[in-house]
Amino acid sequence: MAEEKPDLEQYRQRLLELQKTLTELRATEDDATAAVELDQTRQGRLSRMDAMQAQAMSVEAKRRRELQLQRVGAALARVDNDEFGWCLGCGERIDPRRLEQDPATTLCIACAEAAERA
């Protein structure tokens, strides 16, 4: 079976769109991750607990977005260096179907499965 070379411009556009979306989300997250006010005269204990849980979830979502932004930036650099679509684990070409699901992926399915088992 002949290996299909990825359409780098198509992936560059998808990655740029994803980067833009993540950057826009970053701009709106400040309120959600702000410290929870613990003034018992303004809000009840359960409301504070809910607010603290929502804050913790927002902080984790922010961490994941930042990680995804880093992955997208690295993928764009690989596109620019003509290294996009190659597994960083084994050096083989990543299946285009896998790149369609996640254009920022760095590992082929075999290396990703091996990393999960390790």
In contact, 96 and 8? CB cutoff 8 Å: no
Give pLDDT tens digits along the chain (118 positions).
Answer: 445 566 899 999 999 999 999 999 887 776 555 565 555 556 666 777 888 888 889 889 999 999 999 999 999 999 999 999 999 999 999 999 999 999 999 999 999 999 999 8
Q: Where are the beta strands (DSSP E) in 54-117?
A: none
Contact partners, residue 45, CB within 8 Å, separation at least 6: none
Q: Is the pTM of this model over 0.85?
A: no
Cα–Cα distance list, 91 to 38, 106, 116 (Å): 53, 10, 18
User: How many CB atoms sit inside 10 A of residue 47's CB?
Assistant: 11
